[in-house]
Structure 1
């Protein structure tokens, strides 16, 4: 029995993903939960398992193609009689496309993690076949008689356009590929909407979109994946939340001494201890003193939502762009556990393996710009949060201590906050307290 595995929603209401790398090819045997493909969503690289035993019949999407959620991406010939369509997968299998009992006339959209596609998560044109307030389900291919030849879905429809099945015989698909024609843009004139050779030749007579002029010495990089998502989020944040940024330069000599001492303790020998650890601890302690700093502006409800837990985000630069994974309920962790999770977060981000769930639900973010050798910046608030702290480089500087000039370890903090929620006084008090704890780490013990 041939089964088609559809691209699932891997969380956070994502509507499309790019096929990065196939781990299998046509003819390969596969086992339940075997990783068969890597996809890149707007947030991360995700590995997808296959929910059946069988043999790969066909790969329905090429590497580098952007595919809508709900579209078949791989066909597998599985053991069993063809009449067993709808038979549950093997025990222990994860089958995103068979969640619950589908309605008889409508396919359920595949959901792997999370709660399905959120309306408006990606800006797309209004669909004509379904209300704009709800995502349209994928449309199953129409039944085709065996005599008509092998037909399958092919091509990628324009984002936001109404998606229908693309039916074409293999020779027609090859002709379209050779001529550079996207089958998803054609209306078939054959039986049951099948695309014919005449349809392909007619399409070659249509004006082709003008390609951007490429000047010598220029390089063009497609805006997609993490970079596209980050750009959209930053623009939305910058033009929605009124940003205010305050700066504080301070002597952190005692913090640097504390970091060195922690590294010598037996309990911390197996974890990475850096200045960021104590900055994070200071932020968590200050957030407990000023809960409004850890809140969200809910515009539809016209409410401010104060979070009495801190999911601490750490901005991380990766080859694929900026990601902000967060440590869930970081305020409840011991210093050692916080150090361990900071290290794991950084390692996962550098490897490009951060999952969407690890980047959702953040309540406050720290960006460590000091690792790039700069003093500070004016960070943009992560959407859904109300503040972000930039931690600049620590460097030797002349500093007045007890009326005498001395060389001290000095850094600069920058706090950007949403002025709808946080006024200047609250922002200043929070930044002052973070600075006080970094100037004298013993203050954290008094305030924790």
Structure 2
């Protein structure tokens, strides 16, 4: 009878696993659940939003049913392939078993030490233990937990000779009990779980325990010189990155987009030999053209700004100097010449800097390029940029001028050969037609991979961009 019930339940409930949402990603953080247990879902309905190392992505469920269980709370980093939600695809066919996010263990007959169970064949791992059997999970009993818990709550001070503040347990060869997300949190914060005092049921370490261990506490006064016993409350849980009043430091876990940025920038800076060249240019005529295009009926409905003409100028410069649009293939020791331009635009978002790109930008007319830029920026600001939109870039523009700085020395986006930094456009005194006049001026900086781009080629590209911005009629004569 048990076997038949298990088979029926297996057919009734379907599990949705964390997918690889782009190019070999191994994990993602659950940012927000859009459904809760008991909600009805339909095939293709978005059930949650996750953040990968590249972007925030909404995940649709691939079948109909009623949500039975959410396996992980918001804020949890989940490995690709782990089950995140269970759905009852045959609701109304009988009472559903209770969710098994944290099954209660069978009472231990004595405080003996049991090894952690191996994963039975054919069973899927859940938050704690394996499978859905109520009594299949055994946990190690821990001595002294009642006393420690009483001390943390401020009880038992008069009868217990132990200090008011519990000391961290001594290092043990036994593996501390904690759920996978808690282990991941401890790793991110640099906390050794063997030194954490567990407060969860049956000696399980909770997220709050890890946060408490990461929060500095005052050194207690030795027992022999303490005043009469005073109840000591456990420190309040502190979210990672939260600013604590009076704290001298705040630790922020590096994960998601920020972690990917750090890894990519280190890899790029120490792999490709960077060279950066600068040029200061009078862009007064370009700014006049921007004003005229804003009134042009052919540009109605699209955003016209200096970045649009700078992007077009770079595309023309690449057409005139195609060697700049290449990549270095280290394993094969080859230079890969690209006959297309996927133009990356660095965008600052609340989750960090991302670089989506406009596919085949070289084929677009000016109105089409303006529309593509507008869509790219809006999508990035909303945090909806897909991993595919950030893959395959060939050359990038970073507009640091929006922050009021003159220019910078940008680091190449990995796999690309060049990146153009655009500084702030300012009214400055400039020699124009033999006289000093106020002109709109900016500074451009071009960084390139010196393995495949020599100084001459890099200089020609930068000079061409500057020449076009100084006299935008060249967009017609050089195109």
Structure 1 length as normaliser, TM-score?
Answer: 0.75
Q: Give the C-alpha shift of residue 213 in structure 1.
A: 5.5
Distance 2:138 2:72 in 1: 13
1:40 is the counterpart of 2:51: yes
Equivalent in the alignment of 1:153: 126
1:4 is the counterpart of 2:15: yes
The 3-state SS of whatever aligns with 1:250 is strand
Distance 1:294 1:313 in 2: 12
- Unmatched segments (≥5 aa) in structure 1: 83-138, 145-150, 156-163, 187-199
Q: Give the C-alpha shift of residue 440 in structure 1.
A: 0.3
Spell out, residue by residue over 1:359-401, the C-alpha distance to the aligned partner (whole angstroms, 9 max, x if none).
0000000000011111000000000001100000100011111
After superposition, residues 193-212 of structure 1 pair within 5 angstroms as: 211-212=213-214
Equivalent in the alignment of 1:359: 390
1:182 is the counterpart of 2:213: no
Contact (CA 8 Å) 1:166, 1:183: kept in 2 or not?
Answer: no
Q: 1:429 to 1:25 in 2, by over 3 A?
A: same
Equivalent in the alignment of 2:30: 19
Distance 1:409 1:13 in 2: 46
Equivalent in the alignment of 1:125: none
Contact (CA 8 Å) 1:152, 1:168: kept in 2 or not?
Answer: no
The 3-state SS of whatever aligns with 2:270 is helix
Equivalent in the alignment of 1:69: 80
Q: How many residues align?
A: 362
Equivalent in the alignment of 1:119: none
Q: 1:173 to 1:377 in 2, by over 3 A?
A: farther
Q: Give the C-alpha shift of residue 79 in structure 1.
A: 2.6
Spell out, residue by residue over 1:261-309, the C-alpha distance to the aligned partner (whole angstroms, 9 max, x if none).
0001011121100000000000001111111111100000110001010
Contact (CA 8 Å) 2:404, 2:424: kept in 1 or not?
Answer: yes
Distance 1:24 1:432 in 2: 55
Spell out, residue by residue over 1:93-143, the C-alpha distance to the aligned partner (whole angstroms, 9 max, x if none).
xxxxxxxxxxxxxxxxxxxxxxxxxxxxxxxxxxxxxxxxxxxxxx99635
Equivalent in the alignment of 2:430: 399
1:266 is the counterpart of 2:262: no
Larger radius of gyration: 2
After superposition, residues 74-153 of structure 1 pair within 5 angstroms as: 74-79=85-90, 142-143=121-122, 153=126
Q: Give the C-alpha shift of residue 152 in structure 1.
A: 5.7
Distance 2:140 2:401 in 1: 55
1:389 is the counterpart of 2:410: no
Q: 1:286 to 1:173 in 2, by over 3 A?
A: farther
Equivalent in the alignment of 2:233: none
1:247 is the counterpart of 2:278: yes
* Aligned match for 1:334, one of 357, 365, 376: 365
Distance 2:67 2:402 in 1: 46
Q: Give the C-alpha shift of residue 217 in structure 1.
A: 3.7
Equivalent in the alignment of 1:49: 60
Alignment RMSD: 3.1
* Aligned match for 1:417, one of 445, 448, 462: 448
Contact (CA 8 Å) 1:249, 1:410: kept in 2 or not?
Answer: yes
Q: 1:435 to 1:3 in 2, by over 3 A?
A: same
Distance 2:255 2:447 in 1: 27
The 3-state SS of whatever aligns with 2:22 is coil
Q: 1:411 to 1:170 in 2, by over 3 A?
A: farther
The 3-state SS of whatever aligns with 1:408 is strand
Contact (CA 8 Å) 1:227, 1:320: kept in 2 or not?
Answer: yes
* Aligned match for 1:60, one of 64, 71, 89: 71
- Unmatched segments (≥5 aa) in structure 2: 1-11, 94-117, 150-175, 184-200, 217-245
Equivalent in the alignment of 2:349: 318
The 3-state SS of whatever aligns with 1:240 is coil
* Aligned match for 2:315, one of 272, 279, 284: 284
Q: 1:373 to 1:310 in 2, by over 3 A?
A: same
